[in-house]
Structure 1
Amino acid sequence: MGGQAKSKKKNKPRRKEHHSNRGDSRKSCMELVTRTAISCPTTDSEQRGLSVQERMKVKMQEKAKKKTAEKYTTEQLLEKTEECIDNFNFEMAQMFCQRALDIEPTNLKILDMLGNVCAELGNVEKAKQAFLKAVELSPEEGHSKYMYLGQIHTGVEAVQYFSKGIEVMLNTLEERTHSAEGAAAASDHDAELTGKDVSVAFCSVAEIFFTDLCMEEGAADKCKEAIERALQYDPDNPEAMQLMASYLFSIENIQEGSVFQEGREFLMRSVALWLPGQRSRAEPCGQEEDEDDEEHQQSGIPPYESRITTAKLLVEAEEYETASEVLEGLLEEDDEVVQVWYLLGWACYLQVEKSEEPDTFKDSARTYLTKAKKLYMKLGCDDAAMLEHTQQLLGELGPGDSAADSGEEDLPLENIGDDFVESSDDEDAMEH
């Protein structure tokens, strides 16, 4: 007690000195901050280049992290993570998930969740490290990590990751079939595994042989084999059907008959699964679509880019009406994609000679292609081949009376958005 009293007594003059001299006070405080910061361990190499204040902030964050880890259980942190994911708050989800991983660094569920959250945030490297750690800890369990690793790699590496993921999935399905115990022991993620997941993975492999590895020896055969396996595990997978159509269209001398027709059939079956117009034609007359069917159809609509590919194939198959339906649906979602306007113009151009009303298709082709060209310039696209073909087609179509009268070619680029809106309104008025 005496020692403490003596210490207090000693400190009194210093406090008076500090109050009488603010400059010395600031200096003394900075020395205290510096000593505190220097005493902080800098185990992380990233901290070494930080300022004193930044190092102190890192230390405070580490303290908060430790306190959070002591306060909450892993289960509670994962519940908060899932809640944030449901609310699309991926930043907070990453924070809670990282805290859970600090407590259990080898928990596969947490690693998988963290990898997916980081992928949503666009942090590819952190997601990759999480999934690679999961692969290291459990190479024969959980297929999703292999699917993600396959997506961020190319060529042979991508095929290897996808193939390993397929192997894990098939083993899981086999265990579930032959052993109730094996099914019960499956992870939560694998418990939802279906043949559709296997089909999607085989489609990913086929796409790589279509693109990155198309020049490899035997690529065509491996591509076809992957598509056939995809259809084996999900005969109603529109992506697999479309890939089969692409494969058949790519075979040499397809115009000889049967192969081209087979490709067209696969393509139309694919489109009928999600395109409203085709779906209604395929259903028996008088059959009404209930809410569940409509919801299922909406969930089965392919991504935007995939539907652009569908439109290209439909134009190649000379299914112009269906191609236009697909492209018009894309415009409703986003009317600033040059390729969509270009394809609409190209589809109309190809119908000029075959139609009984060639002038109608000429006018439509000219309108779509003009918009494609103006939007191309506005957005600064870099597809020189598409621009060249667009200009070539416009040259062949000529200016046209309506375009010359309206001065459409001379509209400034900044008015292009208004031009699209006005055009859409005019078309709606004509329909009504």
Structure 2
Amino acid sequence: MAKAKTKTKPSKKSRRKDAPATLASVLQNIAAHSTSQQSAVDIDTLVARANSLLHEETDPHQALATITKALAKNPTSLPALELAGEINVELEDTETAIRCFTAATELDADGSVSGVEKFLWLAELCEEGGEVAIRWYERAVEYLRKRVSEVTGEDKATAEQKLCSALCGMAELYMTDLCMQPDAESRCEAYITESLLIAPTSPEPLSTLASFRISQSKPADARAALTRSLDAWKHLRPTDERIPPYPARMSFTRLLIECELYEEAMDVLEGLQAEDDQSVDLWYLGGWCLFLIGAKLKELAANGNGGSTDVQVEVEDWRDTWAAAREWLWNCEKLYKAFEWQDAGIAEHASELLANINGEIGEAKPDDEEKEGEDVEEGEWEDDDDDEDEEMGDS
């Protein structure tokens, strides 16, 4: 189920070569089919099976094959179209996902039949961004405001959560794509205020507020919002539904670092590391954060602890912190190469940080390279094509 700004946005690729061609042909011929020609029971079974394959068995390829069968029976099935869109998001086939969600909006223009997830997905995925994305969000918000006023209990809570997320998504757009609009600041303020009135302790609107205050050069207000957001979920287990998803917490650490809340950022990053340590961003942000902590300790040591008698900073404190930062950056480098990462900004900044660290505390090698007898060269973030000589056996 889509939620604005909480899912990792996939890269915008053309249709994958391994996607069943039948799905494309089904989408092209939606208007030529009638729901009355097929068994609704069979379609419901296939949709349920595809949903299980995607969310419970984590097999999006089989889920795609199954949902394609459902759409072959009835290309105008809203549940099948929306699930097909979600599956293709998982497979990073953005083009087909957009076609599925767009087809669903043509069949349910106001969301009264199947809800607003398709509008939220299109707001996130649309290549045009800006005004086009805002229009998708506005369709979702119009429905959700009405929904919140009409339902109670869990249904109301769910609608409020979606409404908050959509409003935050709109505010983010006016901080990025539409930041040059004359009313951008007032719109951001209005959307964030509405979201906080709905859910004053929810992490997402608080984080969006912090981002907005940073853009307004109000760091104290940003830190206050970040602290309130962190207090709302830092004590929760990773499996708790109230905790922000992994990508959202990763983005949250960037805000913490920007507001110089370094210790809090490392606490969040260490929690993320325990959940999943195969993220380039994770190791990059951790290395950067530890570097900044070490830089502050170094400055305190150089200034005699700033005249403070409460804090005793030894030279080894900042050196040890920078050594730890280097370990995180080495892991970043390793995953960057392994995943063939394309973010040149991370590579350049991490190389710069490593150069600064090595210049101050001396060069060293990662453990794996020491074992292999390979030299570490600063700034190399591309795989080398050097051929390895075969070892000669004893004669």
Using the size of structure 2 for normalisation, the TM-score is 0.67
Please say if residues 342 and 368 of structure 1, whose CA atoms lie closer than 8 Å, have aligned partners that are also in contact: no
Q: CA deviation at 1:192?
A: 8.1
AA aligned to 1:156 is E
Q: Is the 8 A contact 2:237 2:243 kept in 1?
A: no
Q: CA deviation at 1:214?
A: 2.2
Are 1:371 and 2:371 an aligned pair?
A: no
CA distance in 1, matches of 2:156, 2:322: 54
Q: 2:355, 2:366 → 1: CA distance?
A: 21
More RCO (CA 8 Å, sep 6+): 2
Q: Does 1:157 align with 2:132?
A: yes
3-state SS, counterpart of residue 299 of structure 2 = coil
Q: Tell me the distance in 1 between the aligned counterparts of 2:116 and 2:331.
A: 42
**1:266–1:97: structure 2 CA closer, same or farther, 3 Å change rule?**
same
Aligned equivalent of 1:357, options 313, 331, 338: 313
Alignment map for 1:302-317 (pairs within 5 Å): 302-317=244-259
User: Which residue in the other structure is 1:269 paired with?
Assistant: 228
Matched residue type, 2:190: E
- Compute the displacement of 1:145 (Å): 0.4
Asked whether the 8 Å contact 2:134–2:170 carries over to 1, the reply is yes
CA distance in 2, matches of 1:213, 1:268: 28
**Which segments of 5 or more consecutive residues in structure 1 lack a partner in the other structure?**
1-53, 59-68, 178-182, 184-188, 255-259, 280-292, 404-408, 419-432
Separation of aligned partners in 2, 1:246 and 1:416: 42
> How does 1:64-143 map onto structure 2 within 5 Å?
73-85=42-54, 86-141=56-111, 142-143=115-116
Contact 2:203 / 2:229 at 8 angstroms: preserved in 1?
A: yes
- The verdict on how the C-alpha distance between 1:199 and 1:192 changes in structure 2, with shifts beyond 3 A counting, is closer
Structure 2 residue aligned with 1:146:
119
- CA gap of 1:347–1:217, structure 2 versus 1, over 3 A, is farther
Q: Flag the 1:416–1:220 CA change in 2: closer, same or farther, 3 A.
A: farther
1:176 matched residue in structure 2: 151
Q: Tell me, yes or no, if structure 1 residue 221 matches structure 2 residue 194.
A: no
Task: Tell me, in whole angstroms, the C-alpha distance in 1 between the residues paired with 2:131 and 2:59.
Answer: 35
Q: In 2, distance between residues paired with 1:214 and 1:416?
A: 48
Distance 1:320 1:417 in 2: 33
SS of equivalent to 1:399: helix
Matches within 5 A, 1:19-418: 73-85=42-54, 86-141=56-111, 142-153=115-126, 154-176=129-151, 193-252=158-217, 254=218, 260-275=219-234, 279=235, 294=237, 298-332=240-274, 333-334=276-277, 336=280, 337-354=283-300, 356-371=312-327, 374-375=330-331, 378=334, 379=336, 382-383=344-345, 386-387=349-350, 389-390=352-353, 393-394=356-357, 398-400=359-361, 403=362, 409-411=363-365, 414-415=368-369
**CA distances 1:65-110 after superposition (whole Å, capped 9, x unpaired):** xxxx689732333333334333223333333333333333323222
Structure 1 residues 48-79: Cα deviation after superposition (integer angstroms, max 9, x where no partner): xxxxxx9xxx9xxxxxxxxxx68973233333
The letter for the 1-side match of 2:360 is: P
1:331/1:340 contact within 8 Å kept: no
CA–CA distance in 2 between the matches of 1:331 and 1:76? 38
TM-score normalised by length of structure 1: 0.62
Q: CA deviation at 1:205?
A: 1.3
**1:81, 1:192 → 2: CA distance?**
27
- Does structure 2 conserve the Cα–Cα contact (< 8 Å) formed by 1:128 and 1:149? yes
The amino acid of 1:315's aligned partner reads I
Maintained 8 Å contact 2:101/2:122: yes
CA distance, structure 2, for counterparts of residue 194 and residue 93 of structure 1: 27
Question: What code does the residue aligned with 1:155 have?
Answer: G
Closer, same or farther in 2 for the Cα pair 1:328/1:103, shift >3 Å? closer
Q: Deviations over 1:275-329 (max 9, x none)?
A: 2xxx4xxxxxxxxxxxxx6476x33333444334433333343433222222333
SS in 2 for 1:352: helix
**Residue 429 (structure 1) aligns with:** none
Q: 1:262 to 1:102 in 2, by over 3 A?
A: same
User: In the aligned structure 1, how far is the partner of 2:290 from the partner of 2:84?
Assistant: 42
Deviation at 1:166, TM superposition (A): 1.3
Instruction: Quote the Cα distance in structure 2 between the aligned partners of 1:417 and 1:205.
Output: 51
In 2 relative to 1, CA 249–360 (structure 1 residues): closer, same or farther, beyond 3 Å? farther
- Structure 1 residue 375: deviation in Å? 5.0
Aligned in 2, Cα 1:322/1:121: closer, same or farther, shift over 3 Å? Answer: same
Judged with a 3 Å threshold, the aligned counterparts in structure 2 of structure 1 residues 416 and 94 are, in CA distance, closer, same or farther, namely farther
In structure 2, runs of 5+ residues without a counterpart are 1-20, 26-37, 306-311, 338-342, 373-395
Q: Tell me, in whole angstroms, the C-alpha distance in 2 between the residues paired with 1:268 and 1:367.
A: 28
Q: Residues 327 and 225 from structure 1, CA distance in 2 versus in 1: closer, same or farther, beyond 3 angstroms?
A: same
Letter aligned with residue 312 of structure 1: R
* TM superposition shift of 1:199: 0.6
Q: Secondary structure in 2 aligned to 1:139?
A: coil
1:130, distance to aligned residue in structure 2 (A)? 1.6
Kindly tell me: are residues 224 and 361 of structure 1, through their superposed partners in 2, closer, same or farther at Cα, counting changes over 3 Å? farther
**How far does residue 149 in structure 1 lie from its aligned partner after superposition?**
0.3
Query: Displacement, 1:132?
Result: 0.9
1:313 partner letter = L
Give the 3 Å change call, closer, same or farther, for CA 314–338 of structure 1 in structure 2. closer
Letter in 2 for 1:267: L
2:360 aligned counterpart, secondary structure: coil
CA distance, structure 1, for counterparts of residue 216 and residue 45 of structure 2: 56
Partner-residue secondary structure (3-state), 1:334: coil
Asked if 2 retains the 8 angstrom alpha-carbon contact of 1:327 and 1:344, the reply is no
Which residue identity lines up with residue 53 of structure 2 in the other structure? C
Pair 416,146 (structure 1): closer, same or farther in 2 beyond 3 Å? farther
